[in-house]
Every structure is written in C-alpha cells, then in structure tokens.
Structure 1
C-alpha cells in the first residue's frame, strides 16, 4: 500500500494569499520580527556545566592595529567562560571609537545575548568584524554592557599585563 503524501502546495493553499518568498524553505529565510525571534531563542543561565565569571582585571589591556593603539585600559573586565580562553572586555571610554564602524553582522549567545560587530580601520587597513559588543547583555553578564572585546587574531596585538 502506498502512503499518500500531504496535499500539493496549490491544493492546500487554494483561496489563500501566496506565501512570502523564501518562507518555510530550507536555506532561505523570511523577514521575522525581532520580538518574535527573541521569544523563540533559548536563554541559558551560567552554572556548573557552563560557568561564566566576569571580574575586574588588575593589569592593562592594550590593542594595536596597523601600528596604532586603538584601545588601552586599566579598567578592563576579564570574562572566563567554561573552558574557553579568557576574553577581555574594554570600556568604550578607553577605545578610539573613531576607528570603529558598526557592521550588519550579528550573532547570538544563549548565555550573553545579542552581539553587534565593528570593523576597525586605520589608514588603508581594515579588520572586518574584529570587535564585538553585547549592548544589552543578559543579567548574568550585565557588567560587560558598555564594553567591547577584540579578536586577537584580527589585530596586530592584544597585550595583557
């Protein structure tokens, strides 16, 4: 016996408005309101299986790109997340914001929230999405609001100490 499949697209949608292009098709996305996306996302709380600590860092963190110091801070925060290497979040007041331009790139972390990215440009050299920030981080890591972090492999140097 042959099992019948679902009704054809035309039959099941007869008399209804056509779907938006790409909606419901693998590999294609439709415009979904941000509020709706946020309701769907899982939020995780750091704990024994995925610990996250954020604490003031006693030494200086310096970031150099294309020979220019673009950030230097003795007020950085050190984030230790699970078994990952530490990440140093630098207050925006200690960053040369004139060399940063926000990009359209965004990512989501269930522990920290939505991240925005910035390209750093000094002279004719640019490092795309070399900087990220959690502008409205989740409460568990709320201290990193107003701070940015740099990918060490996209700048000349990120010196700690």
Structure 2
C-alpha cells in the first residue's frame, strides 16, 4: 500500500474516503468544456468518494447539453453501483467515443445518481470545479477529478492496479 499524503488545511485525502464508496451531494459548480462548447454546467452535482480515487462528479441530465451525447452499445459493471451505459460526445468536428457514462438503474445506495452523467476529464478540453481546472485521474479506466483540495497518491497510474 502506498504512503498517503497528509492533507493540509481545507484538503481531503483520498485515503480517508470509504470502501465501499459513498455518494454525497456537492455544493460545487461543475463545468465541462469540449471543442470550445460548455457541454455541462451544474450547481447540483453528486460525487462518489472511494478509497484511493479522486472524486467522480455526476451531473443531472437537465444540466447537460444532451444534444451532444449519443448512446453507445458499451456497458460495464461496477461492483458498487451496478451496470453503466455510455455516451459518445460529438461537438462540431470533434468526437470522443464513450467519453461519458451513467447508471440507468444503480444499486440502492447510489439511486440518487440514476441517469446522472459523468465524463472523463482527460478526454475533455477542460473540466472545472468552481473556477479551478481539474487534472484527470491517471490511467484510462477511472474518471476522477483532481483539484488542489484533494491529496493522494491516486489509483490509476502504472503499478497501482492492485491497490
């Protein structure tokens, strides 16, 4: 197991997040920009907190420009949240296949994020928590959002699969 970075004032350590993960409402403003367009802007996000992972933000579909999101045939299974479905995002001449996901029928503890949409921040032009541009969680499997108030180390990079 890696050595957790001690959080400073106003910071959270991902090593203090629970397993199984916890869902909580967030008062933060979340914005997502792709190909120069704001494709999501929400002050009503939910976030999932899981040991060793930066938070993943889920946005109500009413706060997402759904005209840019097309369902795909991809599906995946989360042991905590259930079956996920995916969207390809297309804005103008740019497209990212399976760049967003959602849970149509999440398990009981996560039912508040049914149909809420999460995006991979590393596949977008920019994602913001309030006015801070986030850094994407390492790797191509997870969709965590790293901000200055979150400390790790974070799962996702080389050699972290077994954490």
> What TM-score do you get using the length of structure 2 for normalisation?
0.67
Deviation at 1:158, TM superposition (A): 1.0
Asked whether 1:60 is paired with 2:29, we answer yes
Per the alignment, residue 152 of structure 1 pairs with 121
Q: 2:109 aligns with which of 140, 151, 160?
A: 140
Contact 2:20 2:80 in 1 (8 A): no
Q: What are the superposed Cα offsets for residues 101-136 of structure 1, whole Å, 9 maximum, x if unpaired? A: 001111001111000000000001001101000110
Q: Which has the higher helix share?
A: 1
SS class of match (2:96): strand
> Segments of 4+ in structure 1 off by > 6 A?
none
Q: 1:94 aligns with which of 57, 60, 63?
A: 63
Distance in 2 of aligned mates of 1:124 and 1:142: 35
SS class of match (1:98): helix
Distance in 1 of aligned mates of 2:113 and 2:79: 15
Contact 2:18 2:49 in 1 (8 A): no
Tell me how large the CA RMSD over aligned residues is: 1.4
Distance in 2 of aligned mates of 1:109 and 1:77: 17
> What TM-score do you get using the length of structure 1 for normalisation?
0.68
Deviation at 1:92, TM superposition (A): 0.3
* Larger Rg over CA atoms: 1
Structure 2 spans left out of the alignment, 5+ residues: 1-16, 131-163
Q: What are the superposed Cα offsets for residues 17-50 of structure 1, whole Å, 9 maximum, x if unpaired? A: xxxxxxxxxxxxxxxxxxxxxxxxxxxxxxx972
CA shift in 2, pair 1:49/1:85, >3 Å: closer
Structure 1 spans left out of the alignment, 5+ residues: 1-47
Per the alignment, residue 80 of structure 1 pairs with 49
Q: Which has the higher strand share?
A: 2
